[in-house]
Amino acid sequence: METTRFETFIDAIIAIIMTVLVLKVAQPSEPTLSAIWELKTFYLAYLISFLTLFNIWYNNHNLFKKVDNLDNTSVWVYGVMTFVISLVPYFTIWVALHPESIPSETMFGLLFVVTNILYILSIKAIYRSNPYNKELQETNSKVYYEISPLFIILIGFILTYTVYRPGIYISCLISIILWIFIGWRSVNG
């Protein structure tokens, strides 16, 4: 499959999801700093979700510079990942409205975990569909770092279910920062 057309399709979907995400963020009840502060959980949930979507876009942008072609497996894995990330606005608002709720925390964390796993699988599928691409195969050796954010999320699950209710929420923030750093490092050396 032609990569530029596919990349444009994925870019458009991510842009639409980001737009829906920002439209779901509540407005302050009045034009004061205290009213803005009341919405801090909305803003933090939005930040985590936005950074996750942006990171997927940014890493795809850098990956598709190196890709020669896509096979059906890559397209299907991206299709499933697209379905999963389309749920980001829904679960972001749920956790923003109920940051102390274990079900909302759990679903937000699971969404993040599944997104991360699907992203890793999509990268692996692209590497397999381009076995003779030297530049891409050199990058492939660095991908094992991509699973480290998952361990942080697992720690967040343990915290949420034992001592600290917003553990998943906070671990998602730490994980996305780590995931961005890993992506930036793989691109820049």
Q: Convert the pLDDT of each residue in 11-58 to its tens digit.
A: 999 999 999 999 999 999 999 999 999 999 999 999 999 999 999 999
Asked whether the predicted pLDDT for residue 90 surpasses 90, the reply is yes
Q: What average pLDDT is seen over the chain?
A: 90
Residue 45, both tokens: 């949930």
The whole-angstrom separation of Cα 182 and Cα 59 is 10
Q: Higher model confidence: residue 12 or residue 1?
A: 12
Q: Which residue has the tokens 């967040």?
A: 156
At 118, the amino acid letter reads: L
- Among the listed residues 122, 140, 46, 22, the one whose alpha carbon sits nearest the alpha carbon of residue 78: 122
With cut-offs at 50, 70 and 90, classify the pLDDT of residue 189.
low
pLDDT of residue 34: 96
pLDDT of residue 124: 87
In the chain, what are the domain boundaries? Answer: 3-188
Mind giving me the DSSP string for 117-184?
Answer: HHHHHHHHHHHHH-TT-HHHHHHHTTGGGGGHHHHHHHHHHHHHHHT-TTHHHHHHHHHHHHHHHHHH
The whole-angstrom separation of Cα 36 and Cα 75 is 41
With cut-offs at 50, 70 and 90, classify the pLDDT of residue 139.
low
With cut-offs at 50, 70 and 90, classify the pLDDT of residue 187.
low
Task: Classify 30 as helix, strand or coil.
Answer: coil
Is the separation of the CB atoms in 11 and 54 below 8 Å?
no
SS3 string of 92-110? HHHHHHCCCCHHHHHHHHH
